[in-house]
Amino acid sequence: MGLGKTFQALVITRELKAEKILIVCPNQVKETWKEEAKNWVKLDFEIDTLGASKLIINYEKLISIGFKDYVQKVDWDLVIFDEAHKLKNVNSKRRKAALELSKKIENILLLTGTPSYNRPDDLYSLLNLCSPNRFPRKKDFIGRYLEYEIIEIRKRWYNPETNQSGIKKIPIVKVTGIRDKKLFKEDTQDILIRRKREEVLPDLPKKQIVHYWVDLTQEQKDLQTQAEADLVLELEKEKINLPNVLTRINRLRQIAVSPFLISDTLEYLYSPKVDALIELFEDYETKLFCFTKFKRAVELTEILLKKKGIKTYKITGDIKLDERQRILDKFEKTSKPAILIGTIDSLGLGLNLQSASHIAVFLDLDFTPSLNQQQEDRIARIGQTKKPIIIRILARDSIDLYVVAILKEKKSLSEEILKGNTIKYLTYQHKV
């Protein structure tokens, strides 16, 4: 993140002398693409305009009535997919539309800071879009490059016509390691380029990551014990309901922040993690960001911070993007110490955070490594002059230990397979 993917993609439009260009990106950054294209390569793009030869649309438009037919019938010189990890689900309608489009055109460019979004096999989806003939099937991709094991889950079935039922075992592939990263590099070096922040921008201040441990209260421990028992019962059922399992796991994560998160009332107005946040704020005496996965945690944190008289700003998913930017601008302009608390998803695309603060505190972590890293990197990018400090507040003897271990394993696997595709410089020759 923050390494100039947008600029590089726009330079490629000049190199190709492309006339018909389609840019597909998240809704939050459509205006940014339009402005950058005008500033850097003097190209005028239209947003959501049928008939335009230089068109910017969001991913939803790929499958919407009207746009879908137009996008598929135009012979584009270049199609750019920004935040291409949004196409990782091979069964989604948008992914199928993107694949149909990619098979018709010669030049396709996929941009993402998180190619291996959650697991190494996520790479298949992007490589299949770039070269469907070379990477036709996911199972072949896994068998060639990854180590894996087959686990089985049980699923109950019922046929209403025959009134018969039973249990079937469904095999699931679990990736456990990298089989041959050298072979992967050889097969992908002409279509996969990776640039790492520390190599491209060696002068950028290096992130400092701190684990700040707190203890659960007795009430949290009691609630956690019950939630763990409920999870075990769910896992021991003859038919495992995955959504129910995930709900139980999320409940444990919420309890680790505060029982307030699992209550519908204003009970449990306390949190050891927020207490730690306040201590950190008093120690640093500066502005800082605070991230959490849960909107309810934002509400609790805001209440507790205001009780302490701490200037607080908040951003959640139900706030429109332009209003989020206004809140961020106010936070940036204030000269006094303050805290901006927001959900991990809402403090993301379309917002530049690096000039507002150099400290980010996480009350909890997402199970997807790339989502956590995206937020970390938003204060550690071009324009940041101070050493970025990332503080993860973790509860001892809680699910936080499991989350940290899972994230470490996922990150290690993703880093391992991509090592060989890293380059330091991209060189372009073009006429200005």
What confidence tens digit (pLDDT) does each residue in 412-421 have? 877 777 765 5
Assign 289 to helix, strand or coil: strand
What confidence tens digit (pLDDT) does each residue in 199-219 have? 666 666 778 899 999 999 999
- Residue for token pair 């997919």: 81
Question: In the chain, which segments carry CATH 3.40.50.300?
Answer: 208-219+264-397
- Residue for token pair 């332009």: 322
What confidence tens digit (pLDDT) does each residue in 38-87 have? 999 999 999 999 999 999 999 999 999 889 999 999 999 999 999 898 89
Domain 5-145+180-200 class? alpha beta
* Pairwise CA distance, residues 352 & 325, whole Å: 9
Nearest alpha-carbon partner for 346 in 297, 403, 286: 297
Residue 349 binned pLDDT confidence (cut-offs 50, 70, 90):
low
Question: In the chain, which segments carry CATH 3.40.50.10810?
Answer: 5-145+180-200
What confidence tens digit (pLDDT) does each residue in 186-201 have? 888 888 877 776 666 6
Residue 338 pLDDT > 90: yes
Residue 430 binned pLDDT confidence (cut-offs 50, 70, 90):
very low
pTM: 0.71
* Pairwise CA distance, residues 240 & 304, whole Å: 39
Architecture of domain 208-219+264-397: 3-Layer(aba) Sandwich (3.40)
- Cα Rg, the chain, nearest whole Å: 24
Lowest mean pLDDT, pick from 146-155, 251-260, 417-426: 417-426
